[in-house]
């Protein structure tokens, strides 16, 4: 079964996280839609230009198996301030479908909209204090229910492989990781 994934991007997103998420999920066989908040061509946090498939408004009447947000500042702030994306994320959580975020995005884009209520989560060390203390974790990747969060660019591969395992199972995640010659330590943290 083809899994539908939405990866929103905006000016200032962290390019390592965005590209790693998109690439690894596509390697697993997911149909990944990259949707821009604003112009379809965005400038990421380190100046890399990324071009989205569509604008976020084009995604409003579709159902996704996973919606996952890259971090970066001000990218995560742009994602937080996008009413269409917030609506999609609220529906995702309400309908018990997978969603996630990495780096600043859990604290900046999910937490303010109540999308982490009752959910253990992690975020970049510079933003983790914005999460509710009783739910904060410092693991590289945290999966709680249908929500997956991670800490930053250095954990992007483990995060993406965890998303693959969530959608397709551990065998697919292992196969994708081995084909990419993933560090066995990274592989061990997710399987």
User: Which residues are known to be catalytic?
Assistant: 103
Torsions phi, psi for 62 (to 5 deg): -115, 155
CB 122 within 8 A of CB 106: yes
CA 106 to chain centre: 9
CB 35 within 8 A of CB 58: yes
Query: How far apart are alpha carbons 109 and 75 in whole angstroms?
Result: 9
Instruction: List, in sequence order, every residue forming a beta bridge with 102; answer none if it has no partner.
Output: 150
Query: How far apart are alpha carbons 165 and 178 in whole angstroms?
Result: 13
Query: How far apart are alpha carbons 191 and 187 in whole angstroms?
Result: 6
């Amino acid at each position: 079964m083809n899994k539908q994934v939405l990866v929103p991007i905006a000016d200032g997103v962290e390019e390592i996280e965005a590209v790693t998420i998109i690439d690894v999920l596509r390697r697993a066989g997911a149909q990944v839609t990259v949707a821009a908040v604003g112009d379809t061509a965005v400038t990421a946090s380190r100046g890399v230009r990324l071009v989205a498939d569509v604008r976020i408004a084009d995604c409003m009447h579709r159902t996704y198996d996973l919606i996952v947000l890259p971090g970066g500042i001000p990218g995560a702030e742009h994602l937080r301030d996008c009413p269409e994306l917030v609506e999609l994320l609220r529906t995702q959580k309400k309908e018990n479908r997978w969603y996630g975020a990495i780096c600043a995005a859990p604290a900046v884009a999910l937490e303010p909209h109540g999308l982490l209520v009752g959910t253990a989560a992690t975020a970049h060390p510079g933003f983790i204090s914005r999460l509710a203390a009783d739910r904060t974790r410092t693991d590289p990747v945290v999966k709680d229910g249908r929500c997956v969060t991670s800490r930053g660019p250095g954990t992007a591969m483990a995060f993406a492989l965890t998303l693959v395992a969530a959608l397709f199972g551990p065998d697919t995640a292992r196969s994708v990781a081995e084909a990419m010659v993933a560090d066995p330590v990274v592989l061990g943290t997710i399987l």
